[in-house]
Structure formats: structure tokens, C-alpha cells
Amino acid sequence: MKRVVFNQKGGVGKSTISTNLAAESALRGYKTLLVDLDAQGNSTHYAGIDINEDTLTVADMFKQIVGWFSKPQPPTAFVQQTAFENLYVLPADPTLATIERELESRYKMFKLRETLEALSEEFERIYIDTPPNFNFYSKAALIAADEFLVPFDCDHFSAQAIERLLENVMEIKEDHNQDLTLSGVVINQYNAQAKLPSTLIGELQEKGLPLFETRLSSSVKVKESHSHRTPLPFLMPSHKVTKQIAALLDEVEQR
Ligand SMILES: Nc1ncnc2c1ncn2[C@@H]1O[C@H](COP(=O)(O)OP(=O)(O)O)[C@@H](O)[C@H]1O
Ligand SMILES: [Mg+2]
């Protein structure tokens, strides 16, 4: 099962949600792969993977596709093992940004699907983190995935942007990946006391969007887990947000 977490807006929780869902999935015993397609490498860093010049990354995997990589390697060669049992990462590095144009001009958007299909034989769950753009990498991810999740940060502009986002994704679905399904919208940094979030959430419901019942609270522990480079299920198993992540994964798995 391949799931992509996508929203073209930055800072909505893509890296947080993809990394923590992957971590919770690994904790449940699924051999899980986290694919980081953002050149910033936030989820790579969060999962504790250090990149040095010898580390093979997802950018190297794409370089191999366009013939820039000397020794041919199987897809598993680009996968890095984390310190957490069952959790593996196909890490990002900053050169993803420099090769994007070349990949785009050579129509390599379908290659990620082939690679992840091959890796599906080894990994029971694949979570894909995407950049904050509707660019080559997010399109490749949406073509490669079975399901997509949309993090929503209860911001006025996000509510306006979500329709445009879904239009973009539906176009990819229609043209390239008929089987892609919207798993649901994840309400992140939810504040039950504030009025705006419930108004915005009501609007999403009126539009008929599938919202996950589980909402992720805003918590400093999320930021702490980023700086500890340890996803919440491993860092704070009994914290409120960890329990929300577990409940969210239950819902994701049931859909
Ligand atoms: N539920 C949350 N509570 C507190 N901080 C959060 C929460 N979700 C995300 N953050 C913080 O917001 C910032 C953006 O989150 P991130 O997952 O990197 O978003 P994106 O990948 O969409 O850009 C990060 O600093 C992260 O620690
Ligand atoms: Mg991110």
C-alpha cells in the first residue's frame, strides 16, 4: 500500500504526518518505507538519517534513471535503514532541486511508480512526503500512490486553496492514475477553543470532503520530537498526540 501526503502549501504538517504515520506503522510490525521527495529533507532528518557524500538518496535514484549515475543499482540500494525497527527511508538530498528540470523535460514522471512497485515487494507500507509545490516530484508521487492524504492547518487561505489542490490532483488521477483515492483530509494543529477552525472545518464538510475524525492537536512535543530526530511513537509512546497519530493510522488502515 502506497500513501502520499500532499498539500502544495508549506508548513501544514506533511513531513510531520508522513513521518509519524510511517513510524507508527513500523511500530505495529509493518515493514515501512518513508520516501522523502522534498529537497529540504525534513522527514529524512526527522527519521534520523544523516546524509553524507556516500549516502545513496532518492535523488541518486532519479539520476540513475537519466543515466547520470555510473554503477547501476537496484532500488533497494537507495533505501536507508533507520535506528527504529521496521522503519526505512528513501532519503532526500538538496540535489533533487537541481535535477528536477532535466527529469521533467525527459518525461520521467512515471519512473517513481515503477520503482515503488518494485519496492512494494519488500515493504508492506510506503508513505511519501512531498514538497510544498505542485511540481515534478509531487506529480510523480501522486502517479505512484494508491491513496493520498491532505493535511489541513485550519488557516483561511488553506481553505480557499484546497479546492484548487483537489482539482490538480483529480487531473493527475484522470490522466495518469485512475485508481488513486482521496483517503481523507487530516486536520492538523487543531485548537478546539478557537472559532475559525470549526467554521473552516464546517465548510470542508459542506463541500463533501472526507475528513478524518481524528484531529491532531498543536503541541510543543511535536517540535521537540523534530529536534530529537525521533518520531513521537518512539519518543513519547503515551503522549496525547502519539495517541492521535495511532488513531489516525487506524482510520487510514480501515479506509
Ligand atoms: N501538530 C503540531 N503541533 C505543533 N507543531 C506542529 C504540528 N504539526 C506540525 N508542526 C510544526 O509545524 C512546522 C511545519 O510542519 P511540517 O510537518 O514540516 O510541515 P510541511 O512538511 O507541510 O512543510 C514544523 O515546525 C512542525 O514541527
Ligand atoms: Mg515538509
Instruction: Provide the percentage of residues in the chain whose pLDDT is more than 90.
Output: 91
Ligand 1, atom 26, residue with closest C-alpha = 223
Task: Using most ligand atoms within 8 A of CB, pick from 222, 244, 248 the residue to mutate for ligand 1.
Answer: 222
- Compute, in angstroms, the gap from residue 255 CA to the centroid of ligand 1: 25
Indicate whether 212 pLDDT > 80. Answer: yes
Q: How far is the CA of 218 from the centre of ligand 1 (A)?
A: 9
Residue 160: the pLDDT is: 83
Atom of ligand 1 nearest to the CA of 12: 22
Q: Does the pLDDT value for residue 147 go beyond 90?
A: yes
Q: How many of the other CB atoms lie within 10 Å of CB of 22?
A: 34
The ligand 1 atom at the shortest distance from the C-alpha of residue 18 is 17
All cell numbers assigned to 230: 525521533
Ligand 1 atom 13: residue of nearest CA:
11
CA of 16 to the centre of ligand 1 (A): 6
Residue 36, beta-bridge partner list: 129
| pLDDT band at 191; cut points 50, 70, 90 | confident
The number of the ligand nearest the C-alpha atom of 11 reads 1
Find the mean pLDDT for residues 17-28: 98
Mean pLDDT of 199-219: 95
Whose alpha carbon is nearest atom 9 of ligand 1? 13
Enter the C-alpha cell of residue 138: 509531487
Which is more confidently placed, 23 or 164? 23
Ligand nearest to the CA of residue 12, numbered in listed order: 1
CA of 121 relative to ligand 1 center, distance in Å: 31
Question: Could you identify the residue written with the cell 510490525?
Answer: 29
pLDDT in tens, 74-89: 999 999 999 999 999 9
Mean pLDDT calculated for residue range 2-6 = 98
Pocket of ligand 1 (CB under 6 A): 10-16, 42, 132, 188-189, 216, 218-219, 222-223, 226
Q: Closest Cα to atom 25, ligand 1: which residue?
A: 223
- The model's pLDDT over 54-108, given as tens digits with 9 standing for 90+, comes to 999 999 999 999 998 878 899 999 999 999 999 999 999 999 999 999 999 999 9
Nearest to 146 by CA among 162, 127, 131: 127
For the chain, give the mean pLDDT.
96
SS (H, E, C) the chain: CEEEECCCCCCCCHHHHHHHHHHHHHHCCCCEEEEECCCCCHHHHHCCCCCCCCCCCHHHHHHHHCCCCCCCCCHHHHCEECCCCCEEEECCCCHHHHHHHHHHHCCCCCHHHHHHHHHCCCCCEEEEECCCCCCHHHHHHHHHCCEEEEEECCCHHHHHHHHHHHHHHHHHHHHHCCCCEEEEEEECCECCCCHHHHHHHHHHHHCCCCECCCCCECCHHHHHHHHCCCCHHHHCCCCHHHHHHHHHHHHHHHC
Angle, helix 240-254 to helix 14-27, in steps of 10 degrees? 80
Mean pLDDT of 129-157: 96
Mean pLDDT of 199-228: 96
Flag whether pLDDT at 255 surpasses 80: yes
Homologous superfamily in CATH for domain 2-254: P-loop containing nucleotide triphosphate hydrolases (3.40.50.300)
Question: What does the pLDDT read at residue 193?
Answer: 87
Atom 3 of ligand 1, residue of closest alpha carbon: 218
Predicted local confidence at residue 123, as pLDDT? 98
Query: Which residue has the least CA distance to atom 6 on ligand 1?
Result: 222
